[in-house]
Structure 1
Amino acid sequence: MAPTLRRTPRTGSGYIEPLLEIPNALPLHMVLVPGGTFMMGSPEDEPDRLGREDPQHEVTVPAFFMSRYPVTQAQWKVVAELETVERSLKSEPSYFKGENRPVEQVSWYEAVEFCNRLDSLTKRPYRLPSEAEWEYACRAGTTTPYYFGETITNDVANYVGEETTPVDHFGIANAFGLSDMYGNVFEWCQDHWHDSYKGAPTDGSAWLSKNESAGRIRRGGSWKHYPRICRSAYRNNDSPKSLSSNLGFRVVCSAPRPLQ
């Protein structure tokens, strides 16, 4: 069955972050993701599912803003030049260069620093998404392996490729108005790694532990991985110090509220 496409790159309510309205590059467009309840994880009959996606469980997620695309290199460069909060940032860390390509080769700690700098300057609560928020936003009301349906093709996502592509390359979005959720780059989440969902929170919050050296969640697949790794339910982890040309992030803002 062919994937169901929504060629709606400008749908959804939200706002443009004024700090990151960049000439000749994509701005940081924050999309309002409505609150709701969904089944997190994969059902037992989903092809290519893994045990780490068990047990499937109901999660209720409050409304939040999420960036339409992964953070781009142009956006990263602006923030990398802001005042340091906890650690320095390289202005141009990415292996594959391009203003509207996703920033990559940034660690979890550096992604958190990016969020902290935005928070500090704008006084809006920017952060990495929780794993539950990421999957909820990705699914956008769907229960199939991909928000397109049962299958995925290279016409809708960048996987098993040779390099990253600009984040708006495909010109499509899911029902919440989010793009590039599959392939291109894995995306860091807040959560510490757990081998299964046994004991996971059901309120959409990040699942943390006291082990600060624990792996951190990454979601969404990448340009060099197979489509089964792009599935909405697929989850894995990396060291928070990891750097890779297939690993980036997007940001969220904790709660809808007017710009000040």
Structure 2
Amino acid sequence: MSYRSIVNSSFLVCLILASCASNRGLKRHINALNAIGMEFVLIPAGTFTMGANNKREEAYYFETPRHQVTISRSFYMGRYEVTQAQWESVMGNNPSSFKNPNNPVENVTMEDVRSFIQRLNEKEATKKYRLPTEAEWEYAARAGSNSAYFFGDHDDELEQYAWYEKNADGHPHPVGLKKPNSWGLYDMLGNINEYVQDKFSENYYARSPSADPTGPDSGSVLKRGGSWFGPSKHNRLAFRDGIGPAKSDKRGFRLVLMIKQ
């Protein structure tokens, strides 16, 4: 069963422990499902090394220094980027440039995303939905890996996992068509850049706290992951960049669902 065939539920979250078959005949686990068909994967608490390894990848200076980060609380991460159909079910419109209900929503600003999150929280009578922090995003994307990509240090296999400039044909694609990482998250690399909760500062990693960092107090909007437009270098796990407030058809987002501790 894929997200496309999920029937909406009146419950905030339905915990499902049974293994479900995808539309490609694969087996996987749905950890949580909300009322508009968003699937979430349980990400366990843990410690990882964040940032780029200059010995193994051609890094930008603001992707370093590498530093150890502890994510002290488990959380749910969206299995997919938020789709246009999900956006429209909450907001009543579709601002995307490349219209397809199963594509990630794009052409939205950070303020647009905050409005979506507020309305979704109101719709579900909760305060548990938010953007991931930058550290949560990279921790979930790495899925235990310590390499440039979650499948290794070279881009030879990138086409199997990501839509980017080499294979995207100049546009984003429906979510979930490429292989996921080992934690079952799709399109963490490529398709669209993803907004995160933190602000961007070039030198933040040098002073970032070691536990649950939430970014600097000021800075520009921060994007993670690559896009359909970007080269393989911009699809590395450590890639990050500050951006302006304008809309772009290369930017979207996925959500975190917080767990009551």
What TM-score do the two structures reach when normalised by structure 2?
0.83
**Two-structure CA RMSD over aligned residues (Å):** 1.8
Query: Contact 2:200–2:222 at 8 Å: present in 1 too?
Result: yes
Q: CA deviation at 1:124?
A: 4.4
1:168 counterpart (176, 182, 198): 176
For 2:214, the aligned partner's letter is: A
Superposed CA offset, 1:21-77 (max 9, x none): xxxxxx210111111000000122022211101111111112111100110000000
- The residue aligned with 2:94 is 92
- The residue aligned with 2:32 is 15
Q: Which runs of 5+ in 1 are unaligned?
A: 1-6, 21-26, 82-90
- The residue aligned with 1:119 is 121
Q: CA deviation at 1:114?
A: 1.3
Query: Contact 1:32–1:256 at 8 Å: present in 2 too?
Result: no
1:199 pairs with 2:202:
no
Q: Which runs of 5+ in 2 are unaligned?
A: 1-23
For 1:207, the aligned partner's letter is: G
Query: Is the partner of 2:198 in helix, strand or coil?
Result: strand
Query: Is the partner of 1:120 in helix, strand or coil?
Result: helix
Query: Is the partner of 1:217 in helix, strand or coil?
Result: strand
1:253 pairs with 2:257:
yes
Q: Distance in 1 between matches of 2:134 and 2:26?
A: 24
Alpha carbons of 1:230 and 1:149: their partners in 2 closer, same or farther (altered >3 Å)? same
Superposed CA offset, 1:230-256 (max 9, x none): 1001110112x2210100000001226
Q: CA deviation at 1:206?
A: 1.6
1:67 counterpart (67, 78, 81): 78
Query: Is the partner of 2:160 in helix, strand or coil?
Result: coil
Alpha carbons of 1:33 and 1:151: their partners in 2 closer, same or farther (altered >3 Å)? same
Query: Contact 1:124–1:253 at 8 Å: present in 2 too?
Result: no
1:244 counterpart (230, 236, 248): 248
Q: Distance in 2 between matches of 1:65 and 1:256?
A: 11
- The residue aligned with 2:149 is 146
Query: Contact 1:14–1:31 at 8 Å: present in 2 too?
Result: yes
Alpha carbons of 1:176 and 1:256: their partners in 2 closer, same or farther (altered >3 Å)? farther
Q: Distance in 1 between matches of 2:252 and 2:258?
A: 20
Q: Distance in 2 between matches of 1:177 and 1:168?
A: 10
